[in-house]
A and B are shown apart, each in its own frame.
Chain A
Amino acid sequence: MLLRTLLLSTCLLVLTTACDTLLTETPPAGDDFESPFDDLPPALNAAFLAGDANFERPFSVNDGLGPLFNNVSCAGCHPGDGRGSPEQALFRFSRSATDLALDLGGPQLQDKAIPGIMPEEIPAGVNVSLRLPPPVFGVGLIEAIPEESILANEDPADNDGDGISGRANWVGAAEFVPVTEIGGGPGLQLGRFGRKANVSSLVGQIVGAYHQDMGITSDFRPEEDLNLSGGGSSIGDDVPDPEIPASTVMETVVYVRLLAPPKPGPSTDNVERGRDRFMNSLKCASCHVPMMKTGPNDISALDEVDVHLYSDLLLHDMGPELADNREDGSASGTEWKTAPLWGTRIIEAFLNGQSFFLHDGRATSIHEAIVLHGGEAEASRNAYLALSDEERSTVIDFVKNR
């Protein structure tokens, strides 16, 4: 009897003291891609959670998925809210910057379809570009950076003679984007989002993703995307349009707007030596601008704060090896927006132990990605290659610490 009582008491004691271990532990702050900014007011936290549910929600055929689609949810292409893998990459195609091959189902190849519908195939005579899904955290900060701050780094004619000639991508905003949204309104707008900065507003990006990536119509775009090369049939998607209301789209917009970038890792001597080379001798920071600042914003987490994104958000000629030879807005076939470097520290945790870099994920390491830099970045690439192995490792450690 005494033994039983002792055994029971011991079990209860272990259960109580080991509660955190037994009931899972919270990952360290900043070690994920899907956390909101700290100290948001409760109303914004609630909006964030509503948008989070939308982002995670997979659509079934009877929810309105398709008829053409690339994936069944936002999270399906952005695992853990980070970047996708080549398995989730999609093809964009068009004839030119002004001819998006809409008559052939452009500008995006939807390689999946609901039962009974033929998925699209890449038509002949178009320019094709493979795009890896980018991470979605930190886009609220990018949105909140004033236009003039971004344009201040422009040097399209390379007047300073440093070989770097960043320029903005000016694109037209979709008519459905409210003029109150950053990047909305008539005329050309500054492109901030996408691999070629080809989208000016978060609303435009999210509506496009629902419509093109998942085949989900909304109040903003209530018409289904059809396989025009397959006869334009939409039989099979019997769900009335629009399939989601504008409020759902806006919740998702608020969600990505409030996603905080992960924190960088702790500084070490190696990391600091790498930072010095990155900033000075290699001149990587000419494009990968370490810090920008947001303008006034109603959300305190976005209001005049430093943004350590390591990007100037401008287009640069990256040379023939990375060229997709497909124009996008005013971006040429060799130009790409400088990719922000935040989040590289924990990429592998959300890509099943792997990492993929560059617009199409062809580089599986920081070293490979640097080596593939050309065009305006050729001098920096060559300077990196001239370093000793030990010196290179400091640069890699620095970048992998973001």
Chain B
Amino acid sequence: MNRLILVTVILSAAVFASPSMSTPESRPLVSGGIYDKPFITNVRGGVRIGGYVDAQFRYEREEGVLDEATFGLERINLFTYTPVSDRVRVAAELEFEEGGEEIKIELAIIDFEIHHALTFRGGIILSPLGRFNLAHDSPANELTDRPLVSTQIIPATLSEPGMGFYGAFYPSSGSRVTYEAYATNGFHAGIIEDSPDGTRFTAGKGNWEDNNARPSFVSRIGVSPMPMAEFGISIHTGPYNEFEVEGLEVDAKRNATLFALDTEIDWRYFRLTGEYARGDIDVPVESAVFQENQQGFYAELSGKFAAGLFSALPGSYFSGVGRFDFVDFDSDTDGDSHRRLTVGINFRPAGDTVFKLDWQRNWSRDAFNIEGNSAAVLFSTASYF
């Protein structure tokens, strides 16, 4: 009952907290016009703008033949954050990839904190499917390329229209349990229809208006028994195809489900991260070319060394990192898989800026289980601003 009263009070405060117009001179030319927006008249703390830049040089060879040697601005992302009131926050992220070839709203959310254990979130959300999808900024990543499982099975960055709740509980002084749970538009039929490679979750993103009028469900629970470690479990499930139109059944209802486990452990100078994901997709049997089960994982270990080596850069340090990636696009057959080993060395002149030098070796197997080899040397720099 007390909580209900609290919610009512907060809602009332938000609704009635409109700007006062104490003098005739302060009255806007046009009510609600360009100089009468809340970010000018009402937002406490103002709008904060930030972002990050990721620039790369890639040298790639396939079967001993030069495949690519190119510079590129992989992405520049702009963040905004606005504390609209004590309990209402708005955040957005606008992403420009491949020199502006792809521009998208990666995040646009309104949070209404009812309690630290219960916050409403609506908008274009970052789907809580594996830890990497939630935290993947280039300056924070130790390697230039993102993990295969987190981009090819879990199609990071996966953001979709949805609404739901998140929150945190603290069972003891050092432990924490977090949750996020949302209803979303889910994937569309591009999962099987848009990619020439067959079933690909990456091709089913962008369901901005639900194609089948049936929401999907995505949720992650994170358990942190102590501050240095967190373990997560998450799921995304729902129908992806249009199976009913104007009350008539036009196709069989097909579900796509992604399940993920993730972990992050920090110990002294070392950090271990990893993620496993599995996708199960109902596919039309008549086509016989679509993969029903996909899975993959990565494990990454990094360690800091030579902190403060340069007196002019007291906050600087180096880090070494190694990661193994594996994805299998068709768990039911041999082949159609990709393994990758990456080792790298990074230099951070400051915590928010990084220079990365990576060597990457790839072993892929096509649908006929024929092996292909490629390798790359990558140099990149990324920084928050």
Query: Chain A interface (Cβ within 8 Å of chain B)?
Result: 4, 15, 20, 22-27, 57-63, 71-73, 76, 79-80, 85, 111-119, 349-352
A62 to B373, CA, bound (A): 30
The minimal Cβ–Cβ distance linking B146 to chain A, given in whole angstroms, is 21
List, in ascending order, chain A residues with CB within 8 A of B335's CB. 352
Could you tell me the distance between the alpha carbons of A61 and B199 in the complex, rounded to whole angstroms? 11
Contact indicator B359/A22 (Cβ below 8 Å)? yes
* A60 CB contacts on chain B under 8 angstroms: 193-196, 203
For the complex, give the distance between the alpha carbons of A104 and B198 in Å: 29
A113 touching B196 in the complex, CB below 8 Å, given contacts A22-B375, A352-B368, A352-B369 = no
Q: By the criterion CB–CB under 8 Å, are A4 and B306 in contact? A: yes
Docked pose: A288 CA to B21 CA in angstroms: 98
Q: Which 5 A-B pairs have the closest CB atoms?
A: A26-B64, A58-B196, A61-B193, A115-B284, A79-B368
Number of interface residues of B (CB under 8 A): 39
| Residue from the list A24, A57, A61, A349 in contact with B192, Cβ < 8 A | A61
B251 to chain A, nearest CB (A): 6
Identify the closest chain A residue to B367 (Cβ). Answer: A76
**How many angstroms between the C-alpha atoms of A113 and B376 in the bound complex?**
38
The chain B residue sitting closest to A66, CB to CB, is B287
Is A24 touching B197 in the complex (CB atoms < 8 A)? no
The listed residue (B196, B203, B250) touching A59 by CB distance below 8 A is: B196
Q: Are B194 and A24 neighbours in the complex by a CB distance under 8 Å?
A: no
The answer to whether the Cβ of B63 comes within 8 Å of any Cβ in the partner chain is: yes
Q: Contact between B192 and A25 (Cβ–Cβ < 8 Å)?
A: no
Do A26 and B65 touch (CB < 8 A)? Answer: yes
Q: Is B175 an interface residue (CB 8 A)?
A: no
Known: A24-B64, A26-B64, A114-B287. A79 touches B370 (CB 8 A): yes
In the assembled complex, the Cα of A58 lies from the Cα of B190 at a distance in Å of 15
Of all chain A residues, which has the CB nearest B306?
Answer: A4
Secondary structure at the A interface, as helix, strand, loop or mixed, is loop
Among candidates B287, B366, B375, residue contacting A79 with C-beta atoms closer than 8 Å: B366
- B339 on interface, CB distance cutoff 8 Å: no
> What is the chain A residue whose CB lies nearest that of B335?
A352
Question: Can you list, as one digit per residue, whether each of B59-98 has a CB less than 8 Å from chain A (1) or not (0)?
Answer: 1011111000000000000000000000000000000000
Among A25, A72, A112, A115, the one with the most B-chain Cβ atoms within 10 Å of its Cβ is: A115
Which residue of B is nearest A58, CB measured?
Answer: B196
Residues from chain A with Cβ under 8 Å of B359 in the complex: 15, 22
Which one, A22, A27, A72, A79, contacts B196 given CB within 8 A?
A72
Q: Does B361 contact A (CB under 8 A)?
A: yes
Contacts of A22 in B (CB 8 A): 359, 361, 375
Decide if B287 touches A115 in the complex (CB within 8 Å): yes
| Known contacts A61-B192, A79-B366: A27-B287 contact under CB 8 Å | no
Binding site for A on B (CB under 8 A): 59, 61-65, 189-190, 192-198, 203, 241, 250-251, 284, 286-289, 306, 334-335, 359, 361, 366-370, 373-377
Complex Cα–Cα for A223 and B279 (A): 37
Task: Please indicate the chain A residues that have their CB under 8 angstroms from the CB of B62 in the complex.
Answer: 24
Chain A contacts for B287, CB-based, 8 A:
112-115
Q: Which residues of A contact B286 (CB under 8 A)?
A: 112-113, 115-119
Q: Which of A22, A63, A71 has the most CB of B within 10 A?
A: A22
Q: B339 to chain A: closest CB distance in Å?
A: 14
20 contacts between A and B (CB under 8 A): A22-B375, A23-B59, A23-B61, A24-B375, A25-B64, A26-B64, A59-B196, A60-B194, A60-B203, A62-B194, A80-B370, A111-B288, A112-B287, A113-B286, A115-B193, A115-B251, A115-B284, A119-B286, A119-B288, A352-B369
> Given A4-B306, A15-B359, A79-B366, A112 and B193 touching (CB < 8 A)?
no
Q: Which residues of A contact B374 (CB under 8 A)?
A: 24
Q: Which residues of B contact A116 (CB under 8 A)?
A: 250-251, 284, 286
Cβ contact of A24, chosen from B251, B334, B368, B373, cutoff 8 A: B373
Report the nearest B residue to A76, measured CB to CB. Answer: B367
| Residues from chain A with Cβ under 8 Å of B366 in the complex | 79
Which residues of B sit under 8 angstroms from A63, Cβ to Cβ? 196
CB distance from A138 to the nearest CB of B (A): 20
- Chain A residues whose C-beta falls within 8 Å of the C-beta of B203 in the assembled complex: 60
> Are A85 and B368 neighbours in the complex by a CB distance under 8 Å?
yes
Q: Are B196 and A112 in contact (CB under 8 A)?
A: no
Q: Which residues of B contact A79 (CB under 8 A)?
A: 366, 368, 370
Give the complex CA separation of A350 and B65 in angstroms: 19
Whose C-beta in chain A lies nearest to the C-beta of B283?
A: A115
A3 to chain B, nearest CB (A): 11
With contacts A112-B289, A350-B370 taken as known, whether A26 is within 8 angstroms of B63 at the C-beta atoms is: yes
- In the bound complex, residues from chain A placing their C-beta under 8 Å from that of B192 are 61, 115
How far apart are the CA atoms of A72 and B203 in the complex, in Å? 17
CA distance A4 to B367 in the complex (A): 45
**Which residues from chain B contact A24 at a C-beta distance below 8 Å?**
61-64, 361, 373-375
Complex-state Cα separation, A4 to B347, whole angstroms? 14
Known: A112-B286, A119-B286. A351 touches B64 (CB 8 A): no
For the complex, what is the distance from the CA of A112 to the CA of B65, rounded to whole Å? 36
User: How long is the Cα–Cα vector from A58 to B368 in the complex, in angstroms?
Assistant: 14
Q: Beyond A72-B289, A85-B368, is A20–B194 a contact (Cβ under 8 Å)?
A: no
Contacts of A20 in B (CB 8 A): 64
Given the complex, which residues of A lie within 8 Å of B369, measured CB to CB? Answer: 352
Q: Is the CB of A352 within 8 A of B334?
A: yes
Chain A residues with Cβ under 8 A from B334's Cβ? 352
Contacts of A59 in B (CB 8 A): 196
Taking CB atoms, residues of chain A closer than 8 Å to B63 are: 24-27
Question: Across the interface, which residues of B come within 8 angstroms of A58, CB to CB?
Answer: 196-198
* CB nearest to B318 among chain A residues: A4
Q: In the complex, what residues of A have CB within 8 A of residue B189's CB?
A: 115
